[in-house]
Amino acid sequence: MSLNAERSYKMKLRDVENAFKYRRIPYPKRSVELIALLAISCTFFLFMHTNKLNSRLKEMEVKLQPSEFSALGLTGNHISGHDAGKHDDINTLHGTYQYLKSTGQLWRLNPKFLNNTKFHTGDVIYYNRVPKTGSETLTELMIRLGEKNHFQNDRAPFSKPVGVYWDVERQRQEAERIMELQEDSAFVYVEHMNYMNVRPFHLPQPIYINMIRDPVERVISWFYYIRTPWNSVRNFEVSGKFPNRTHFLKNFEDCVLTSDPECRYHYGLMFKDDPGDHKRQSLFFCGHSPICEPFNTPGAIEKAKQNVERDFSVVGSWEDVNVTLTVLENYIPRFFKGSMELYYEPIRGLAFKKQNLNPWKPKISERIKRIMRANFTQEYDFYYFCKQRLYRQYFAINRHLHF
């Protein structure tokens, strides 16, 4: 508004006032429009100002947050993986917290509605462990917990192939076999196998748990794990076969860039000819149905999410150690009470002994990881889904975070 224009507006405004005061002339039509215009502009300026204050407040809140988490022995941006350090990323612990808070959902979180443990009908845990997610560490932790909390541990032998594509009859046999292994009143069973729904078999409903990891990091880890000498020796003991020299010298980056069948991540890819295929983390949650096989497809991911939501008590991750252990302790206390203490026990604690580390794994460039991530979109969708669920379970039991 120029100075002149403003002055003339003011004069007109005075006219209106005078007209009101003395009621000599009828209320002019144009002045009504003018008042309306002024009112609208005032509202607009106030709105802009409120908005600015709001965003300032948000900024300050973000700065304040980390201390809330450090009070819990957690920091907002400690999460590893490619999203680490990005404050506004909804897939981090901190980002999920911000999102839930800003949408008003944080106050409504209730452990009752995030607790699938209450549906179990026998003290049996199925840990259908996903390879390369640190499952050896969790298995070892449960063996130690078993002594403390009095429960039995059992696992499938190394020689047993990963359980995929079992038909319903095979699933029934496997589920019955697992139940027959139980001797103590509480029992944990560990095997690399896809999720199976035991409801149709009229067996006690178990407690399902699992661990996940960044999908691309997991694939890289698998690639180098199968090339370690110790794994090759164990495989030789089972199969009597030893891979040739080319196999051991293969380099992951070349494998991806030359579109080697082992490192091909095309949409809808099947694995029938490649039993050692471990591209799909979601497979272990989706199950044995053919819909679970095509790589990175929405159908498989949807089914995996449904199973997690309906049946899994906890899907944790070593990327969030403290959150995972806290959630396990609180949602499955019969087995996991005292986990944090045991894990961080001085000297003997697993926190100080990394299981199954692979010194043979070289560093893979960000460029290669970016190329891969572009093809793992659905796998990431599932991975983040599980992470957010874990975080919600965690916030639900930490009521003092709700303010």
Active-site option among 78, 94, 192, 288: 192
How far is it, in rounded angstroms, from Cα 400 to Cα 342? 25
Q: Pick the binder of ligand NAG from 4, 103, 239, 246 (CB under 6 A).
A: 246
Q: Pick the binder of ligand NAG from 130, 256, 328, 386 (CB under 6 A).
A: 256
Map residues 167-206 to x or -, x wherever contact with ligand NAG holds by CB under 6 A.
----------------------------------------
- Minimum distance, C-beta of residue 218 to ligand NAG, in the bound complex (Å): 16
Interface of this chain with ligand NAG, residues 114 to 133, rule: CB under 6 A: 115, 117-118
Q: Pick the binder of ligand NAG from 31, 75, 197, 231 (CB under 6 A).
A: 75
Interface of this chain with ligand NAG, residues 332 to 361, rule: CB under 6 A: 333, 344
Q: Is 367 in the site for ligand NAG (CB under 6 A)?
A: no
Q: Give the total residue count for the chain.
A: 403
- Minimum distance, C-beta of residue 43 to ligand NAG, in the bound complex (Å): 46
How far is it, in rounded angstroms, from Cα 187 to Cα 4? 86
- Minimum distance, C-beta of residue 378 to ligand NAG, in the bound complex (Å): 12
Which residues neighbour 235 within 8 Å (Cβ) at sequence distance 6 or greater? 241
Measured from the CB atom, the residue of 85 and 243 that comes closer to ligand NAG is 243
Which residues neighbour 33 within 8 Å (Cβ) at sequence distance 6 or greater? none
- Minimum distance, C-beta of residue 305 to ligand NAG, in the bound complex (Å): 21
Q: Which stretch binds ligand NAG (CB under 6 A): 6-14, 16-24, 180-188, 368-376?
A: 368-376
Phi first, then psi: what are they for 121, rounded to 5°?
Answer: -120, 5
Note the helical H segments in 313-365: 321-331, 333-336, 339-343
Size of site (CB under 6 A) for ligand NAG: 27
How far is it, in rounded angstroms, from Cα 332 to Cα 127? 13
Q: Which of 399, 403, 400 is nearest to 109 (CA)?
A: 399
Q: Is 297 in the site for ligand NAG (CB under 6 A)?
A: no
120 annotated active-site: no
Q: Is 77 in the site for ligand NAG (CB under 6 A)?
A: no
141-149 contact pairs (CB < 8 A, 24+): 141/339, 141/342, 141/343, 141/350, 142/188, 142/190, 142/335, 144/342, 144/350, 145/335, 145/336, 145/338, 145/339, 145/342, 146/188, 148/338, 148/342, 149/186, 149/334, 149/335, 149/336, 149/337, 149/338
How far is it, in rounded angstroms, from Cα 70 to Cα 320? 14
Measured from the CB atom, the residue of 155 and 387 that comes closer to ligand NAG is 387
Q: Which positions touch ligand NAG (CB under 6 A)?
A: 73-75, 78, 111, 115, 117-118, 243-244, 246-247, 256, 259, 264-267, 322, 330-331, 333, 344, 371-372, 375, 397
Catalytic machinery residues: 192
